Amino acid sequence: MICAIKTYRLQHRLDEPFGFSQWSYDTRNGLLIEVVDSEGVSGWGECYGPATVTQSAVDTFYAPLLLGWDPLKNEAAWQHMWRASLDFAMKGPMMGAISGLDMALLDLKGKLLKVSVSELMGGRVRDEIRGYATSMYFKQQPEDELLGTLLGEARESRERGFSALKIKVGKNMNFDRRLIEAMREAFPETQLMADSNHAYDLPEAIEIGRVLEAHKFAWFEEPLSPTHVHQMRQLADKIDVPIATGECEQTRFGFRALLDGGGVQIAQPDLAHCGGPTEALKIRALASAQGINTIPHCWGTQLNLASAVHFLATTYVEPGRAEPAEPMIETDLTPNPMRDDMFETGLKIADGRLAVPTTPGLGVQPDRAMLEAFCVQKTEKLNDEDSLPDVDRRERISDKKVH
Protein backbone atom coordinates (compact mmCIF):
# COMPACT_ATOMS: atom_id res chain seq x y z
CA MET A 1 0.00 0.00 0.00
CA ILE A 2 1.31 3.49 -0.83
CA CYS A 3 1.66 5.31 2.48
CA ALA A 4 3.75 8.40 1.60
CA ILE A 5 4.44 10.56 -1.44
CA LYS A 6 7.24 13.08 -1.12
CA THR A 7 8.64 15.65 -3.50
CA TYR A 8 12.05 17.28 -3.60
CA ARG A 9 12.44 20.47 -5.61
CA LEU A 10 16.06 20.82 -6.60
CA GLN A 11 18.11 23.76 -7.74
CA HIS A 12 21.69 24.37 -8.73
CA ARG A 13 23.28 27.57 -9.99
CA LEU A 14 25.59 26.91 -12.93
CA ASP A 15 29.16 28.19 -13.05
CA GLU A 16 28.61 29.17 -16.67
CA PRO A 17 25.21 29.78 -18.36
CA PHE A 18 24.41 27.73 -21.46
CA GLY A 19 22.01 28.49 -24.26
CA PHE A 20 20.16 27.10 -27.25
CA SER A 21 17.93 28.65 -29.90
CA GLN A 22 15.22 29.75 -27.46
CA TRP A 23 16.79 30.63 -24.12
CA SER A 24 19.87 30.77 -21.96
CA TYR A 25 19.94 29.19 -18.49
CA ASP A 26 22.04 30.01 -15.43
CA THR A 27 20.20 27.63 -13.05
CA ARG A 28 19.19 24.00 -13.23
CA ASN A 29 15.89 23.01 -11.66
CA GLY A 30 14.37 19.63 -11.09
CA LEU A 31 11.68 17.73 -9.23
CA LEU A 32 12.18 14.28 -7.75
CA ILE A 33 9.33 12.19 -6.37
CA GLU A 34 9.61 9.46 -3.75
CA VAL A 35 6.71 7.04 -3.38
CA VAL A 36 6.96 4.93 -0.20
CA ASP A 37 5.02 1.74 0.43
CA SER A 38 3.97 0.31 3.79
CA GLU A 39 7.14 -1.85 3.99
CA GLY A 40 9.28 1.28 3.75
CA VAL A 41 10.42 0.57 0.15
CA SER A 42 10.86 3.71 -1.96
CA GLY A 43 10.30 4.19 -5.69
CA TRP A 44 11.80 7.26 -7.33
CA GLY A 45 10.64 9.35 -10.27
CA GLU A 46 11.43 12.64 -11.93
CA CYS A 47 9.38 15.34 -13.68
CA TYR A 48 10.51 17.40 -16.66
CA GLY A 49 9.01 20.90 -16.79
CA PRO A 50 8.57 23.80 -14.35
CA ALA A 51 9.43 22.27 -10.97
CA THR A 52 7.36 24.67 -8.84
CA VAL A 53 4.27 23.76 -10.87
CA THR A 54 4.88 20.00 -11.06
CA GLN A 55 5.65 19.96 -7.33
CA SER A 56 2.32 21.55 -6.50
CA ALA A 57 0.49 19.23 -8.93
CA VAL A 58 2.03 16.13 -7.36
CA ASP A 59 1.63 17.22 -3.76
CA THR A 60 -1.79 18.84 -3.79
CA PHE A 61 -3.60 17.03 -6.61
CA TYR A 62 -2.27 13.57 -7.50
CA ALA A 63 -0.67 12.38 -4.25
CA PRO A 64 -3.98 12.34 -2.35
CA LEU A 65 -5.43 10.18 -5.17
CA LEU A 66 -2.69 7.54 -4.83
CA LEU A 67 -2.28 7.26 -1.05
CA GLY A 68 -3.56 3.85 0.04
CA TRP A 69 -3.20 2.56 -3.56
CA ASP A 70 -1.67 -0.86 -4.35
CA PRO A 71 1.72 0.05 -5.93
CA LEU A 72 1.60 -2.99 -8.22
CA LYS A 73 -1.43 -1.50 -10.00
CA ASN A 74 0.51 1.14 -11.89
CA GLU A 75 -1.57 0.98 -15.08
CA ALA A 76 -4.76 1.51 -13.11
CA ALA A 77 -3.08 4.32 -11.17
CA TRP A 78 -2.24 6.07 -14.45
CA GLN A 79 -5.84 5.85 -15.65
CA HIS A 80 -7.06 7.06 -12.25
CA MET A 81 -4.82 10.16 -12.42
CA TRP A 82 -5.59 10.76 -16.11
CA ARG A 83 -9.35 10.64 -15.60
CA ALA A 84 -9.16 12.86 -12.51
CA SER A 85 -7.62 15.72 -14.51
CA LEU A 86 -8.82 14.93 -18.03
CA ASP A 87 -11.25 17.84 -18.16
CA PHE A 88 -8.57 20.48 -17.66
CA ALA A 89 -5.11 18.93 -18.02
CA MET A 90 -4.79 16.66 -21.04
CA LYS A 91 -1.37 18.23 -21.63
CA GLY A 92 1.06 20.48 -19.80
CA PRO A 93 2.89 20.39 -16.48
CA MET A 94 0.21 18.28 -14.82
CA MET A 95 1.06 15.54 -17.32
CA GLY A 96 4.67 16.06 -16.26
CA ALA A 97 3.53 15.39 -12.69
CA ILE A 98 1.77 12.17 -13.78
CA SER A 99 4.96 11.20 -15.64
CA GLY A 100 7.13 11.45 -12.52
CA LEU A 101 4.63 9.50 -10.45
CA ASP A 102 4.37 6.82 -13.14
CA MET A 103 8.18 6.53 -13.17
CA ALA A 104 8.30 6.25 -9.37
CA LEU A 105 5.55 3.60 -9.37
CA LEU A 106 7.45 1.55 -11.94
CA ASP A 107 10.67 1.79 -9.89
CA LEU A 108 8.74 0.76 -6.77
CA LYS A 109 6.97 -2.11 -8.56
CA GLY A 110 10.30 -3.45 -9.82
CA LYS A 111 11.79 -3.30 -6.34
CA LEU A 112 8.77 -5.05 -4.82
CA LEU A 113 8.80 -7.79 -7.49
CA LYS A 114 12.63 -7.88 -7.48
CA VAL A 115 12.91 -7.33 -11.24
CA SER A 116 14.39 -4.51 -13.28
CA VAL A 117 12.21 -1.97 -15.09
CA SER A 118 13.33 -3.43 -18.44
CA GLU A 119 11.98 -6.80 -17.30
CA LEU A 120 8.69 -5.08 -16.40
CA MET A 121 8.74 -3.56 -19.91
CA GLY A 122 8.92 -6.96 -21.57
CA GLY A 123 12.55 -7.99 -21.16
CA ARG A 124 15.88 -6.81 -22.49
CA VAL A 125 16.89 -7.49 -26.07
CA ARG A 126 20.25 -5.76 -25.47
CA ASP A 127 22.40 -5.22 -22.38
CA GLU A 128 23.97 -1.90 -23.30
CA ILE A 129 22.86 1.10 -25.28
CA ARG A 130 24.99 3.18 -27.59
CA GLY A 131 25.00 6.76 -26.36
CA TYR A 132 24.97 9.86 -28.48
CA ALA A 133 26.47 12.98 -26.98
CA THR A 134 24.28 16.02 -26.39
CA SER A 135 26.50 19.01 -25.64
CA MET A 136 27.72 21.95 -27.69
CA TYR A 137 25.23 24.44 -26.29
CA PHE A 138 25.76 28.11 -27.11
CA LYS A 139 27.90 30.31 -24.86
CA GLN A 140 28.15 34.07 -24.54
CA GLN A 141 31.06 34.34 -26.94
CA PRO A 142 31.76 36.05 -30.29
CA GLU A 143 30.80 33.65 -33.08
CA ASP A 144 34.35 32.81 -34.26
CA GLU A 145 35.33 31.96 -30.71
CA LEU A 146 32.11 30.03 -30.12
CA LEU A 147 32.74 27.89 -33.19
CA GLY A 148 36.11 26.85 -31.76
CA THR A 149 34.58 26.15 -28.35
CA LEU A 150 31.87 23.90 -29.84
CA LEU A 151 34.36 21.96 -31.98
CA GLY A 152 36.51 21.49 -28.87
CA GLU A 153 33.52 20.07 -26.95
CA ALA A 154 32.80 17.74 -29.86
CA ARG A 155 36.39 16.50 -29.76
CA GLU A 156 36.09 15.83 -26.01
CA SER A 157 32.93 13.78 -26.59
CA ARG A 158 34.69 11.72 -29.25
CA GLU A 159 37.62 11.15 -26.89
CA ARG A 160 35.16 9.86 -24.28
CA GLY A 161 34.09 7.23 -26.79
CA PHE A 162 30.85 8.72 -28.14
CA SER A 163 30.53 7.77 -31.79
CA ALA A 164 27.52 10.01 -32.47
CA LEU A 165 27.21 13.73 -31.66
CA LYS A 166 24.28 16.16 -31.69
CA ILE A 167 24.79 19.87 -32.27
CA LYS A 168 22.47 22.78 -31.53
CA VAL A 169 21.38 24.93 -34.44
CA GLY A 170 18.87 27.76 -34.66
CA LYS A 171 21.15 30.57 -33.50
CA ASN A 172 21.11 32.33 -36.87
CA MET A 173 21.18 31.02 -40.42
CA ASN A 174 24.78 32.04 -41.14
CA PHE A 175 26.25 30.61 -37.95
CA ASP A 176 24.17 27.44 -38.28
CA ARG A 177 25.54 26.82 -41.75
CA ARG A 178 29.13 27.46 -40.62
CA LEU A 179 28.74 25.09 -37.66
CA ILE A 180 27.25 22.27 -39.76
CA GLU A 181 30.04 22.57 -42.35
CA ALA A 182 32.79 22.80 -39.71
CA MET A 183 31.47 19.75 -37.84
CA ARG A 184 31.39 17.56 -40.92
CA GLU A 185 34.85 18.72 -41.98
CA ALA A 186 36.27 18.00 -38.50
CA PHE A 187 34.44 14.66 -38.09
CA PRO A 188 34.09 13.12 -41.55
CA GLU A 189 33.21 9.62 -40.27
CA THR A 190 31.13 10.46 -37.17
CA GLN A 191 27.35 10.16 -37.01
CA LEU A 192 26.05 13.70 -36.57
CA MET A 193 22.60 15.07 -35.73
CA ALA A 194 21.28 18.65 -35.41
CA ASP A 195 18.60 20.09 -33.12
CA SER A 196 17.01 23.52 -33.72
CA ASN A 197 14.56 23.38 -30.78
CA HIS A 198 11.83 24.62 -33.16
CA ALA A 199 13.73 27.74 -34.25
CA TYR A 200 12.83 27.88 -37.94
CA ASP A 201 9.91 28.75 -40.14
CA LEU A 202 9.29 26.40 -43.06
CA PRO A 203 11.51 28.12 -45.69
CA GLU A 204 14.39 28.37 -43.20
CA ALA A 205 13.96 24.73 -42.19
CA ILE A 206 14.08 23.68 -45.85
CA GLU A 207 17.26 25.74 -46.37
CA ILE A 208 19.06 24.34 -43.30
CA GLY A 209 17.67 20.88 -43.98
CA ARG A 210 19.37 20.90 -47.37
CA VAL A 211 22.69 21.85 -45.75
CA LEU A 212 22.27 18.98 -43.28
CA GLU A 213 21.40 16.63 -46.12
CA ALA A 214 24.49 17.65 -48.10
CA HIS A 215 26.64 16.94 -45.04
CA LYS A 216 24.99 13.59 -44.32
CA PHE A 217 23.46 14.36 -40.94
CA ALA A 218 21.48 11.47 -39.45
CA TRP A 219 18.48 13.52 -38.33
CA PHE A 220 17.07 17.06 -38.10
CA GLU A 221 15.48 17.46 -34.67
CA GLU A 222 12.59 19.84 -33.94
CA PRO A 223 13.07 21.73 -37.20
CA LEU A 224 9.67 23.42 -36.82
CA SER A 225 7.35 24.59 -34.08
CA PRO A 226 5.37 21.84 -32.35
CA THR A 227 2.34 24.06 -32.97
CA HIS A 228 2.68 23.61 -36.75
CA VAL A 229 2.72 19.84 -37.10
CA HIS A 230 1.17 19.99 -40.58
CA GLN A 231 4.41 21.58 -41.84
CA MET A 232 6.43 18.45 -40.98
CA ARG A 233 5.00 16.70 -44.04
CA GLN A 234 5.76 19.73 -46.22
CA LEU A 235 9.35 19.81 -44.95
CA ALA A 236 9.83 16.06 -45.37
CA ASP A 237 8.75 16.38 -49.01
CA LYS A 238 11.62 18.83 -49.62
CA ILE A 239 14.57 17.24 -47.81
CA ASP A 240 16.03 13.76 -47.46
CA VAL A 241 17.36 14.05 -43.91
CA PRO A 242 15.00 12.28 -41.44
CA ILE A 243 12.90 14.49 -39.16
CA ALA A 244 12.92 13.75 -35.42
CA THR A 245 10.54 15.43 -32.99
CA GLY A 246 8.21 14.97 -30.03
CA GLU A 247 9.95 16.19 -26.88
CA CYS A 248 7.20 18.83 -26.43
CA GLU A 249 4.42 16.31 -27.13
CA GLN A 250 2.58 14.23 -24.56
CA THR A 251 0.45 11.07 -24.34
CA ARG A 252 -0.44 8.53 -27.02
CA PHE A 253 -3.27 10.85 -28.07
CA GLY A 254 -0.91 13.76 -28.73
CA PHE A 255 1.54 11.51 -30.58
CA ARG A 256 -1.22 10.03 -32.69
CA ALA A 257 -2.07 13.51 -33.98
CA LEU A 258 1.63 14.34 -34.50
CA LEU A 259 2.44 11.12 -36.38
CA ASP A 260 -0.80 11.06 -38.38
CA GLY A 261 0.27 14.39 -39.90
CA GLY A 262 3.17 12.59 -41.60
CA GLY A 263 6.76 13.64 -42.19
CA VAL A 264 8.16 12.53 -38.82
CA GLN A 265 10.60 9.59 -38.96
CA ILE A 266 11.75 9.46 -35.31
CA ALA A 267 9.41 9.97 -32.33
CA GLN A 268 11.08 11.51 -29.27
CA PRO A 269 8.86 11.40 -26.17
CA ASP A 270 10.51 12.42 -22.89
CA LEU A 271 9.70 9.78 -20.27
CA ALA A 272 9.54 12.42 -17.50
CA HIS A 273 7.06 14.52 -19.48
CA CYS A 274 5.10 12.45 -22.04
CA GLY A 275 2.97 10.66 -19.43
CA GLY A 276 5.73 8.49 -17.97
CA PRO A 277 7.51 5.29 -19.00
CA THR A 278 4.28 3.27 -19.26
CA GLU A 279 2.72 5.88 -21.54
CA ALA A 280 5.94 5.94 -23.60
CA LEU A 281 5.46 2.20 -24.23
CA LYS A 282 2.05 2.99 -25.71
CA ILE A 283 3.54 5.79 -27.82
CA ARG A 284 6.21 3.36 -29.04
CA ALA A 285 3.57 0.81 -30.05
CA LEU A 286 1.63 3.52 -31.88
CA ALA A 287 4.77 4.73 -33.69
CA SER A 288 5.80 1.17 -34.53
CA ALA A 289 2.46 0.60 -36.25
CA GLN A 290 3.44 3.44 -38.61
CA GLY A 291 6.98 2.14 -39.17
CA ILE A 292 8.46 4.88 -36.98
CA ASN A 293 11.18 4.30 -34.37
CA THR A 294 11.03 5.87 -30.91
CA ILE A 295 14.19 7.34 -29.40
CA PRO A 296 13.38 9.18 -26.16
CA HIS A 297 14.37 12.75 -25.49
CA CYS A 298 16.35 12.62 -22.26
CA TRP A 299 17.25 15.42 -19.88
CA GLY A 300 17.64 15.73 -16.12
CA THR A 301 18.98 13.28 -13.55
CA GLN A 302 19.92 9.60 -13.50
CA LEU A 303 16.25 8.67 -13.02
CA ASN A 304 15.08 9.87 -16.43
CA LEU A 305 18.26 8.56 -18.05
CA ALA A 306 17.80 5.11 -16.46
CA SER A 307 14.14 5.05 -17.54
CA ALA A 308 15.17 5.76 -21.14
CA VAL A 309 17.96 3.14 -20.98
CA HIS A 310 15.48 0.47 -19.83
CA PHE A 311 13.03 1.59 -22.51
CA LEU A 312 15.67 1.29 -25.25
CA ALA A 313 16.88 -2.04 -23.86
CA THR A 314 13.44 -3.42 -24.75
CA THR A 315 13.07 -1.62 -28.08
CA TYR A 316 12.33 -3.53 -31.25
CA VAL A 317 13.82 -1.56 -34.14
CA GLU A 318 11.59 -1.01 -37.17
CA PRO A 319 11.88 -2.83 -39.52
CA GLY A 320 13.15 -6.10 -38.08
CA ARG A 321 16.07 -7.81 -39.78
CA ALA A 322 18.96 -10.12 -38.89
CA GLU A 323 21.31 -7.17 -38.39
CA PRO A 324 19.05 -4.36 -37.17
CA ALA A 325 20.14 -0.78 -36.63
CA GLU A 326 21.16 -0.02 -33.07
CA PRO A 327 18.97 2.40 -31.08
CA MET A 328 20.77 5.28 -29.35
CA ILE A 329 20.29 6.98 -26.00
CA GLU A 330 20.58 10.77 -25.68
CA THR A 331 23.43 11.35 -23.24
CA ASP A 332 23.60 14.89 -21.94
CA LEU A 333 27.22 15.79 -21.26
CA THR A 334 26.67 19.36 -20.08
CA PRO A 335 27.77 19.97 -16.46
CA ASN A 336 25.05 18.80 -14.05
CA PRO A 337 25.95 17.81 -10.47
CA MET A 338 22.31 16.81 -9.86
CA ARG A 339 22.92 14.04 -12.43
CA ASP A 340 26.58 13.24 -11.74
CA ASP A 341 27.01 13.76 -7.95
CA MET A 342 23.56 13.21 -6.41
CA PHE A 343 23.25 9.42 -6.81
CA GLU A 344 24.87 6.72 -4.72
CA THR A 345 24.17 4.29 -7.58
CA GLY A 346 24.25 5.63 -11.13
CA LEU A 347 24.46 4.33 -14.67
CA LYS A 348 27.77 2.96 -15.88
CA ILE A 349 29.06 4.64 -19.04
CA ALA A 350 32.12 3.21 -20.77
CA ASP A 351 33.41 4.02 -24.24
CA GLY A 352 30.23 5.93 -25.07
CA ARG A 353 27.95 3.03 -24.14
CA LEU A 354 25.50 2.82 -21.22
CA ALA A 355 25.07 -0.48 -19.37
CA VAL A 356 21.45 -1.45 -18.70
CA PRO A 357 21.00 -1.95 -14.93
CA THR A 358 19.87 -5.42 -13.93
CA THR A 359 19.09 -4.67 -10.27
CA PRO A 360 15.43 -4.29 -9.17
CA GLY A 361 13.60 -1.16 -10.31
CA LEU A 362 15.37 1.54 -12.30
CA GLY A 363 18.73 0.55 -10.81
CA VAL A 364 19.77 4.06 -9.79
CA GLN A 365 19.48 5.38 -6.25
CA PRO A 366 19.65 8.99 -5.01
CA ASP A 367 22.08 9.75 -2.19
CA ARG A 368 19.91 11.25 0.56
CA ALA A 369 22.57 13.60 1.91
CA MET A 370 23.29 14.98 -1.57
CA LEU A 371 19.59 15.20 -2.32
CA GLU A 372 19.14 17.36 0.78
CA ALA A 373 22.03 19.53 -0.35
CA PHE A 374 20.33 20.35 -3.66
CA CYS A 375 16.78 20.51 -2.26
CA VAL A 376 15.17 23.94 -1.89
CA GLN A 377 11.67 22.77 -1.01
CA LYS A 378 10.23 19.41 -0.06
CA THR A 379 6.69 18.25 0.55
CA GLU A 380 5.19 15.12 2.01
CA LYS A 381 1.73 13.60 1.95
CA LEU A 382 1.10 10.73 4.35
CA ASN A 383 -1.66 8.15 4.30
CA ASP A 384 -1.30 7.01 7.87
CA GLU A 385 1.47 8.50 9.97
CA ASP A 386 1.40 5.61 12.44
CA SER A 387 2.23 3.09 9.70
CA LEU A 388 5.42 4.86 8.62
CA PRO A 389 8.90 3.80 9.68
CA ASP A 390 10.61 6.40 11.88
CA VAL A 391 13.09 7.23 9.12
CA ASP A 392 10.20 8.60 7.09
CA ARG A 393 8.92 11.01 9.72
CA ARG A 394 10.16 14.23 8.27
CA GLU A 395 9.15 17.81 8.13
CA ARG A 396 6.19 18.21 5.84
CA ILE A 397 7.57 21.29 4.15
CA SER A 398 10.86 23.03 4.55
CA ASP A 399 12.71 25.71 2.71
CA LYS A 400 16.44 25.95 2.32
CA LYS A 401 18.88 28.16 0.55
CA VAL A 402 19.96 27.37 -3.00
CA HIS A 403 22.96 25.08 -3.01
For Mg ion, the binding residues (CB under 5 A) are 195, 221
Amino acid at 130: R
To Mg ion, the closest distance from the beta carbon of 258 in angstroms equals: 15
Tally of CB atoms within 10 A around 234: 16
Q: What are phi and psi of 191, to 5 degrees?
A: -70, 125
To Mg ion, the closest distance from the beta carbon of 332 in angstroms equals: 10
Name the closest residue to Mg ion (Cβ): 195
Q: Which is nearer to Mg ion, 107 or 195 (CB)?
A: 195
Catalytic residue among 230, 297, 310, 403: 297
Q: Which is nearer to Mg ion, 221 or 380 (CB)?
A: 221
To Mg ion, the closest distance from the beta carbon of 273 in angstroms equals: 12
Let me know if 198 is a catalytic residue.
Answer: no
To Mg ion, the closest distance from the beta carbon of 246 in angstroms equals: 9
Q: Which is nearer to Mg ion, 153 or 221 (CB)?
A: 221
To Mg ion, the closest distance from the beta carbon of 305 in angstroms equals: 15
**What is the distance between the alpha carbons of residues 41 and 308, in angstroms, rounded to a whole number?**
22
Residues carrying an active site annotation = 297
